[in-house]
Amino acid sequence: MAKYIIADNQEITRFAIESLLKQNDENQIYRASDKTSLVAKLKEHEHAVVILDYTLFDFADEDQLLIVSERFALSQWLLISDELTPQFLRRVIYSSHQFSIVFKDGPMKDVRDALHAVSHHQRFISQRALEVIISQQNDEEKPDILTATEAEIVKAIAQGKTTKEIAEERFSSIHTITTHRKNIFRKLGINTAHELIKYAIRAGLVDPSEFYI
């Protein structure tokens, strides 16, 4: 009998993962909506497999993630996200053998293989994740400088505006703003909005008194 904690706030992904896990009637499935509830679940189920979308959760940075994983050393972690930066992948993979990696837009076989591996306390790193890490090692470049448009979008995101609100203000499509957002995260080497807020404060794009980091 395996225990799983699904820590993914994207409803359609959560439903799909639960459907896969329920194919085995013996699996026990739990949900966590934030870091606090995840820690509470891990206290009850220390041997659980955590299925986490880091980019949609409230971890401030990878340090917090690694601290929690070290605290619950008997747990296994399957990170499943749309995008993860090379720096993040290298830090997490090299720091702990508890972590496996797949991408949401990858083949279903990756997800199935990863779930099978982590349930047997084995690590699974998708081919794409390995390629991202190797590519970064072979091409260490300085981060690109943000364009004026990207800087304005960073400011708007840091102020808590949604993609739809930013698109309306800029008379752009939601797709265009989403593309800008992905490019910004890639250039800055970040994965979450929390990290973006930190950058915006350091860069002087927003007033630090407006935030508690």
Of all residues in the chain, what percent are helix, strand and coil, respectively (each to 5)?
55, 10, 35
Query: 97: which 2 tokens?
Result: 């053998």
pLDDT in tens, 176-187: 999 999 889 888
Domain residue spans of the chain:
3-138, 148-208
Domain 148-208 classified CATH 3.40.50.2300?
no
pLDDT at 140 over 50: no
pLDDT in tens, 10-26: 999 999 999 999 999 89
pLDDT at 72 over 90: yes
In 3D space, the residue among 201, 155, 191, 178 whose CA is nearest the CA of residue 64 turns out to be: 191
User: What CATH number has the domain spanning 3-138?
Assistant: 3.40.50.2300
What is the value of pTM for the model shown?
Answer: 0.71
Burial 50-64 (b: 16+ CB within 10 A, else e): bbbbbbbbebebbee
